[in-house]
Amino acid sequence: MTINRRQLLARSLYLSGALALSKQRAFAQAAQATGLKDLYKEDFYIGTAIGNARLTNPPAGFNELVAREFNAMTMENDMKWERLHPEPNRWVWDYADQFMAFGEKHGMFMVGHVLVWHSQTPSWVFNDADGKPLSRDALLARMKDHIDTVAGRYKGRIHAWDVVNEAVDEDKGWRKSAWFNQIGPDFVDHAFRYARAAAPEAHLMYNDYNMHNPGKRQFVVDMIKRFKNTGVPIDGVGMQGHVGLGYPEIQEFEKSIEAYAAAGVAVHITELDLDVLPVAWDHIGAEISDSFEYSDELNPYADGLPAEVEEQLAERYAQWFKLFLKHRDKIARVTFWGTGDSESWKNDFPVRGRTNYPLLFDRDYQRKPAYDAVAALKQ
Separation CA 268–CA 331 (nearest Å): 6
- Determine if residue 282 is left, alpha or beta; phi over 0 gives left, psi from -120 to 50 gives alpha, anything else beta: left
Contact (CB, 8 A) for 267 and 261? yes
Contact (CB, 8 A) for 339 and 36? no
Known catalytic membership, residue 87:
no
User: Which residues have C-beta within 8 Å of that of residue 189, sequence separation ≥ 6?
Assistant: 227, 230, 232
Going by C-alpha positions, the residue among 332, 338, 269 that lies closest to residue 14 is 332
Contact (CB, 8 A) for 284 and 247? yes
**Identified catalytic residue from 76, 166, 271, 310:** 271
Contact (CB, 8 A) for 76 and 39? no
Contact (CB, 8 A) for 256 and 239? yes
The Cα-based distances of 335 to 41, 75, 125, 221, 313 in angstroms read 14, 11, 30, 22, 17
Contact (CB, 8 A) for 301 and 277? yes
User: Which residues have C-beta within 8 Å of that of residue 247, sequence separation ≥ 6?
Assistant: 279, 284
Tally DSSP H helices, then E strands, for the chain: 14, 9
End-to-end CA distance of the chain: 29
Rg (C-alpha) for the chain, rounded Å, is 20
Residues labelled catalytic: 271
